[in-house]
């Protein structure tokens, strides 16, 4: 077994899911939290307290820390931003429910009702987060001033052996319990084209794996979100006539850029721009490239 794989496996068995994520633990972690119907949500609301709000929705497996390099470019421009951990991720609760599109749509709706009631929104969704952003935009088109997607999921993908095995009832549950942490860690390697950003990313990513329920939630989301087929959801957004902007990493191995052609057919009004030389986590790798593009979109749409 390769040394890197052995190290990942040893780390998974040594550190994964040894702690309970409760109110006492969150006090030691710090941060801000909101309680909604399905549980407690970890969030960060920054910038002016009124006016337009940029809401950034992360993808599968990696929580809201991924937005920090981008936030560092948005804040000096005066934008108000909201980032948060989807259920099952980061320091939000891992409720014992099916991790479906309905669950995440309800989470976004209730959190925004509590924290940003009546504010006009600019949605930014990455990967699976693009699906969630699209669902919210379709349900609440009058609240959404712009929607930007970064390498969106929801279209055909090539799944690896571990991913395909995880979908098999029983077999996938056992595999996730034994080596799920290894598979999830290894998948993060596929997000990057520039190794200089991967070390810092993984140091933050690892923190959530210490808390019980993470792998269970990831397995449920993998099975229930149907991340290879959100065609109907994107088509629904198209029918609203809402402007849609997509920035797709040209070297994305998780959500291949070849899907941009299908996306364009589903959402004819979408403005799609490829990001040369970047991988799935393009905005984390090179925020100085992605941030100006998003800032221009938000300002063009009235932000």
Mean pLDDT value across residues 31-41? 98
CA–CA–CA angle 232, 238, 242 (5° rounding):
140
pLDDT score of 176: 61
Q: Where are the domains of the chain?
A: 3-300
pLDDT score of 15: 58
- CATH fold for domain 3-300: Rossmann fold (3.40.50)
pLDDT score of 184: 87
Mean pLDDT value across residues 96-117? 97
pLDDT score of 128: 98
Does this model's pTM top 0.85?
Answer: yes
Sign of CA pseudo-dihedral 283, 145, 86, 80 = positive
- pLDDT of residue 110 exceeding 50, the answer is yes
CA distance 59 to 150: 10
Strand pairing report for 32-36 and 80-84: unpaired
Mean pLDDT value across residues 196-218? 94
| DSSP reduced 3-state for 145 | strand
pLDDT score of 153: 97
Question: pLDDT tens-digit profile of 229-254?
Answer: 999 999 999 999 999 999 999 999 99
User: Among candidates 133, 81, 83, 159, which has minimal Cα distance to 267?
Assistant: 133
Q: Which residue has the tokens 């279209």?
A: 155
Mean pLDDT value across residues 27-56? 97
User: Which residues does residue 39 pair with via DSSP β-bridges, in sequence order?
Assistant: 36
Mean pLDDT value across residues 82-104? 98
- pLDDT of residue 162 exceeding 60, the answer is no
Average pLDDT over the chain reads 90
Q: Are 104 and 88 in contact (CB under 8 A)?
A: no
Bigger pLDDT: 218 vs 174? 218
Mean pLDDT value across residues 167-191? 70
pLDDT band at 5 (very low <50, low <70, confident <90, very high): very low
Question: pLDDT tens-digit profile of 52-82?
Answer: 999 999 999 999 999 999 999 999 999 999 9
């Amino acid at each position: 077994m390769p040394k890197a794989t052995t190290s990942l496996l040893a780390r998974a068995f040594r550190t994964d899911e040894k702690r309970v994520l409760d109110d006492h633990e969150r006090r030691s972690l710090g941060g801000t939290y909101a309680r909604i119907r399905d549980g407690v949500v970890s969030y960060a609301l920054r910038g002016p307290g009124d006016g337009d709000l940029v809401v950034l929705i992360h993808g599968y497996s990696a929580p809201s820390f991924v937005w920090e390099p981008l936030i560092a470019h948005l804040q000096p421009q005066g934008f108000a931003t909201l980032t948060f951990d989807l259920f099952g991720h980061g320091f939000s609760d891992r409720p014992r429910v099916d991790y479906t599109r309905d669950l995440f749509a309800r989470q976004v709706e209730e959190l925004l009702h509590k924290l940003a009631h009546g504010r006009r929104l600019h949605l930014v969704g990455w990967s699976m987060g693009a699906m969630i952003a699209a669902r919210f935009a379709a349900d609440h088109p009058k609240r959404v001033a712009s929607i930007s997607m970064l390498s969106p999921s929801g279209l055909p993908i090539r799944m690896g052996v571990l991913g395909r095995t995880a979908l098999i009832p029983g077999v996938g549950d056992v595999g996730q319990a034994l080596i799920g942490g290894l598979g999830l860690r290894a998948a993060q390697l596929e997000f990057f084209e520039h190794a200089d950003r991967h070390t810092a990313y993984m140091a933050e990513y690892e923190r959530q794996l210490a808390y019980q329920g993470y792998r269970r939630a990831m397995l449920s989301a993998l099975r229930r979100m149907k991340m290879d087929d959100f065609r109907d959801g994107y088509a629904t957004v198209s029918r609203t006539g809402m402007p849609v902007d997509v920035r797709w990493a040209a070297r994305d191995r998780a959500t291949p850029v070849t899907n941009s052609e299908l996306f364009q057919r589903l959402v004819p009004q979408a403005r799609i721009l490829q990001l040369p030389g970047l991988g799935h986590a393009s905005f984390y790798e090179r925020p100085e490239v992605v941030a100006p593009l998003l800032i221009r979109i938000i300002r063009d749409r009235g932000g």
